[in-house]
Structure 1
Amino acid sequence: MTELHLPWLECAILLPLLGVAWIARRPHADQVRRRCIVITALTLFCTVGAWQDFATLHRFEAHDRWDVISHLIGDEVLVIDELSAPLLPLAALLYLMTTVATLRTKVRRFSFGRALASESILLALLSSRSPWLIVALLAASTIPPYLELRSRRRPTRVYVLYMGLSVVVLALGCLGTQLHGVPGTAPTWALGLLIIGILIRSGIAPFHCWMTDLFEHASFGSALLFVTPMPGAYAAIRLLLPVAPDWALQSLALISLVTAVYASGMALIQREARRFFCYLFLSHSALVLVGLEIATPIGLTGALSVWLSVGLALAGFGLTLRSIEARTGRIALTEFHGLYEHTPTLAAFFLLTGLASVGFPGTFGFVGTELLVDGAVQAWSFVGMAVVVAAALNGIAVVQTYFLLFTGTEHFTSIPLRGRLPERLAVLSLALLILGGGLFPQPGIASRYHAAMQLVHARAHLSAPKHHADHEATDSGPEVLADDAATVHKSIAASSDWRSAHVSDD
């Protein structure tokens, strides 16, 4: 393992914490917002620097040394690899865009200090591989939303019950797998506890009630930042994937598949915009888990690509809904609102980000969704069909909500509702990334394929006896990997052909 040229990860994690102290004694809300924008922008710069520094090393992993803590826990504290390299800038970008898109009318309701603290915790989580450190950071990340619910005098019972149960079962599951001592042969009860903890934290049915409750009672921005980076998926990769046998992964994949279809159906019938967004996100996050638990190179590549595309698309989608809610209050989906004439820019962003989340051609998620379906079909044919059904229902729900919000009637108001410059900049930045990733998917898909292969090799070494892994690698491994690589290249070529055909038509 090599060391990064500069301590980018350390700076990215410490900057938000220093920012909390910097804004603590500034009573003027607008000044606090401006300082928070500066801190989140610098944090994004550090995460991008870590990504580029890692790319120049041409290594599978790199780290920043925190020697004292490393000696205490017996493992590297901050590690960046193929999996976490793009996730860190994605998380930092979400916090920056949410801060920028917060209007002056909302600055007193959105806690910038808690947002910076949660960003620091999230970045530390995404650069950690030690099981106990991951569990501790997952527990710490639940504190800022709880404090917000308390400060808003909203009920906390459901949130505390589910988050507390998730932390406890994850800790017990990690304890069981480590006490057993033999990699790949963890006891069934420990694996079951890990699966339950991941299901709860990811909001997989029937453990999804806390997520709808959080969107109902917390501020939209805080709820968005808490769920959109998908820390439950990260916990599944780091805690469960290396040690779980095939039956455990298949069980988690099937439960997630049922949740994806169920949540997509629920999104169609919601009567309130926040709940609609919550179920739409639940469906997509469940699809990511389906691909992760297939544990094949194609399925993992698709899932990791969809993870990035959904994070970008649904973040922009949620920020658009948040901007509309800032003008009209809580949005009911029982009637037409006719807001297009007042907010045409937000309407365009709403449709773009919503369709991008379901893998519309020309967007970042197109190739990833295709790879996810291919991997699911290779595992079980009915899983691929269910993935397509869930994506189709999500697309219908997005278009239906668009018509309810922006068409159908004429909206009269004496107050201008046009999008403000910060909102347009935030969502436009995400839209450019979504379209850029769709028109030029090769770098992103190649990076996710390398991360998938790294996870497959790690699972092969940890889950099986060494002689069996060596035998498998010398016999059928090269042919399987060559077929998977060919499938990835075909998907990228199909996306390039689609782009070329539409450009020539224009």
Structure 2
Amino acid sequence: MENKLLSALIWLPIVAGVLVLATGNDQRAAIARKLALGFSVIIFLLSISLYSGFDAGTANMQFTEHHSWISAFNIYYSIGVDGISMPLILLTTLLTVVVIIAGWQVITERVAQYMAAFLIMEGVMIGVFSALDAVLFYVFWETMLIPMFLIIGIWGGPNRIYATIKFFLYTLLGSLLMLVALLYLYNASGSFSILDYHALPLTLKAQILIFLALFSAFAVKVPMFPVHTWLPDAHVEAPTGGSVILAAVMLKMGGYGFIRLSLPITPDASHELAWLMITLSLIAVVYIALVALVQQDMKKLIAYSSISHMGFVTLGLFIFNAQGAEGALMQMISHGFISGALFLCVGVLYDRTHSRMIDTYGGIATPMPVFAALFVLFAMANTGLPGTSGFVGEFLVILGAFQANPWFAIIAALTLIFGAAYTLWMVKRVIYGKVVNQDVAALEDVNSREILMLGILAALVLVVGIWPNPVLEVMHTSIENLLRHVDISKCPVLCR
């Protein structure tokens, strides 16, 4: 008998979103909030069963389901998870709970629609991480844009329309080329099964063209330099919950796409074009970190920080060793905790003062000591402080980069310096020093709702930083299997 757990995780949030939407107008906002929180907690508890029932000793897909969908074209409802996708699903279900708590008192208009958008997006994102059929993957991938488009466009800032259109066009145009690549693969194999594509023999020329088509979709989503410019605009205009999900989960779709599609389907092209991926990754790691140094808006600073940190992900994947790949996946998980927490912290301040500008604040530690302690913890994690989750992924990627080419490691390690510079500069001006004005002096410290959402992420940042093994052991076999498939005996051009 098939285990239906994965289908439940995909469709229960979508059904829950529809039910929350049906609560109607803002007179029933309290019902919408309670329903959304209740369903999100149930879905998170269900997702823990993925971890508890997962066999870390095999690279095979687990919790699989396979049903005919459009038989005329060999399209199936085919889903499953391995050690790469399962941690990302847990990250998605956890952060959905957090963003619903974050919007509990803050969102006062169209509450049901807001909560429903996050629940529906949760189901669709889990669908992306679970899909083993190319058409199913593409449908989930594109559908994911709609809730986020609405979240930014309805509850966003003054320039939200510009930000949503830019976000939508960047991601849609890249995805259309991915669709062309998937149709080519179907024509060559007669199947839409992603796992069948992994074994499909392709010429180097075909692989390079397919790699570039997939790259157009995944690089935008990461986002990689130079197609990163949509992200700061989207973050600045998005409501706090939208920024959290965008940074913590949606950016990981790009890295996941490289792991699930680009590397195993086009292994030779991945090696041939590794020089390009490594170069763009190192530019992101260093140049974007320098851009973050001059930002006056806290949200923009954290957005650019995200681009720089995601450069570690693509660098780790394209140096083709176990440390680099495991570090990349750890960086994806850790960045989800840390960036989500930092955006929540900015949201806490914005709710009180309606300003994200650094020069608005100063001496926050005096009126808000608990908030200051949590903010400093997340800031330290963002710099890669040992003992926090931010250290684990970056350390593994730098270790793997050193094995591939010492210069890669040296350049990548510069981000630890720049990251400390822009993060500590923000902390110094916002948290420490004299209280700048009476408005700051009158600020109230975090309430129980804010302590709950920030406390969950603080605990995870510390636990994963001190004891990363439960996460690493789940992904190890799947990463080793991926690297064997891509052929780790080969080496990127720049390593020779």
Partner of 1:466: none
Question: Which residue identity is paired with 2:347?
Answer: R
Question: Equivalents in 2 of 1:93, 1:435: separation in Å?
Answer: 16
Deviation at 1:334, TM superposition (A): 3.5
Q: Corresponding residue for 1:493?
A: none
- Cα–Cα, structure 1 residues 406 and 23, in superposed 2: closer, same or farther, change >3 Å? same
The one-letter amino acid paired with 2:463 is: G
SS across alignment from 2:217: helix
Partner of 1:188: 208
State the TM-score, normalized to the length of structure 1. 0.85
Deviation at 1:250, TM superposition (A): 3.1
For 2:464 and 2:165, the matched residues in 1 are separated by: 41
**Quick one: structure 1 residues 244 and 131, their matched pair in 2 at CA, closer, same or farther if it must change by over 3 Å?**
farther
For the residues of structure 2 that align with 1:388 and 1:346, how far apart are their CA atoms? 30
Equivalence for 2:494: none
Q: What stretches of structure 1 of length at least 5 have no aligned partner?
A: 461-468, 477-506
Q: 2:322 aligns with which of 292, 297, 318?
A: 297
Q: Is the 8 A contact 1:309 1:357 kept in 2?
A: no
Who is 1:488 aligned against? none
Task: Work out whether residues 270 and 276 of structure 1, in 8 Å CA contact, stay in contact via their aligned partners in 2.
Answer: yes
Letter in 2 for 1:220: T
Map of 1:107-122 to 2, 5 A cutoff? 107-108=108-109, 111-122=114-125
Cα pair distance change 1:249/1:179, threshold 3 Å:
farther
8 Å Cα contact 2:79/2:133 also seen in 1: no
The 5 A counterparts of 1:486-505 are: none
Q: Does 1:13 align with 2:39?
A: no
**Inter-partner Cα distance in structure 1 for 2:473 and 2:202:** 29
Alignment of 1:211-360 (within 5 A): 211-229=231-249, 230-242=252-264, 243-245=266-268, 246-334=271-359, 336-360=361-385
For the 8 Å contact 2:59–2:477, the answer to whether it is kept is no
CA offset at residue 419 of structure 1? Answer: 0.6
Which whole-Å CA distance do the structure 1 matches of 2:404 and 2:299 have between them?
34
How many percent identity over aligned positions? 22
How far residue 234 of structure 1 moved from its aligned partner, in angstroms, is 0.8
**Deviation by residue 1:66-118 (Cα, 9 ceiling, x = unmatched):** 52338664556210111112111111111111111224133437711111111
TM-score (norm: length of structure 2): 0.86
Deviation at 1:60, TM superposition (A): 3.2
**Unaligned 5+ residue runs, structure 2?**
190-199, 491-496
> What is residue 33 of structure 2 aligned with on the other side?
33
Q: For 1:399 and 1:65, how far apart are their aligned partners in 2?
A: 48
- Correspondence 1:323-402 to 2 at 5 A: 323-334=348-359, 336-402=361-427
Partner of residue 93, structure 1? 94
1:417 to 2:414 alignment: no
Counterpart Cα distance in 2 of 1:64 and 1:188? 31
8 Å Cα contact 1:33/1:107 also seen in 2: no
Tell whether the 8 Å contact from 1:316 to 1:353 is kept in structure 2 after alignment: yes
- In structure 2, the partner of 1:484 is none
How many residues get paired?
460
Whole-angstrom distance in 1 between the partners of 2:468 and 2:273? 32
One-letter identity of the residue aligned with 1:151: I
Q: 1:135 to 1:336 in 2, by over 3 A?
A: same
In the alignment, what sits opposite 1:465?
none
Residue 104 of structure 1 aligns to a residue whose secondary structure is: coil
State which of 169, 173, 178 in structure 2 corresponds to 1:170: 178
Query: Secondary structure in 2 aligned to 1:334?
Result: helix
Q: Which residue of 2 aligns with 1:127?
A: 130
Partner of 1:341, secondary structure, is: coil
**Which shows bigger deviation, 142-151 or 53-62?**
53-62
Letter of the 1:393 partner, please give it: F
Residue range with higher mean Cα deviation, 225-234 or 413-422: 413-422
> Contact 1:347/1:402 (CA < 8 Å) preserved in 2?
no
Q: Quote how far apart the aligned CAs of 1:37 are.
A: 1.0
